[in-house]
Amino acid sequence: MELTVGAILEGKVKSITNFGAFVTLPDNKTGMVHISEVANAYVSDIRQYLTEGQDVKVMVIGNENGKINLSIKRLEPRPQREGGRSNFRNSGGRREGGSFQNRESSAPRAQQAPVQPAAPKTADQLFEEKLKAFMTESDSKLSSIRAYSENRSRNRRRG
């Protein structure tokens, strides 16, 4: 079975890591849902959203070199933005601004009752969320730069 980008499949969560979840797909294939593709809200602990053995509906978003990339959030409706404000990451970032449902329990998604919309966030809470997202992105970029720099230094010493 050829998995094409955009295909929607049913799968079962095989294992969970800090960076994502591995999902068993039809024909005994395995794909991965990166933590950033689990929900439209910022996900700090993937175990608040998924459990091992849980049945999930996923969309194939990439299939290169035998690696199957999956998304759960792309099958969910996008959250509405608050007051039409633009998000500070709207130029190329994947996260959307707005209010999100808070899923505190570790119960599987399908078994959760509808959550009442959270009270509007204070300016301090919004700032803290934006700062946390910025720091996460910044740390990721810095580690990429460090790895590149170390690799380049090693190559210079050899040559």
> How do residues 34-81 score in pLDDT, each as one tens digit?
999 999 889 899 999 999 999 999 999 998 888 999 999 999 887 776
Q: Is the pLDDT of residue 89 over 60?
A: no
pLDDT in tens, 19-33: 999 999 988 899 999
> Percent of the chain at pLDDT above 70?
74
Contact between 68 and 11 under an 8 Å Cβ cutoff? The reply is no
148-159 average pLDDT score: 76
Nearest CA to 80 out of 98, 101, 94 is that of 98
Residues 128, 6: Cα–Cα separation, whole Å: 34
Other C-beta atoms within 10 Å of 73: how many?
Answer: 19
Contact between 120 and 99 under an 8 Å Cβ cutoff? The reply is yes
Q: Is the pLDDT of residue 113 over 80?
A: no
CA dist 52 → 73, 95, 133, 148, 158 (Å): 18, 25, 27, 35, 46
Reported residue count of the chain is 159
Other C-beta atoms within 10 Å of 16: how many?
Answer: 19
CB contact set of 115 (below 8 Å; sequence gap of 6+): 101, 102, 103
135-156 average pLDDT score: 82
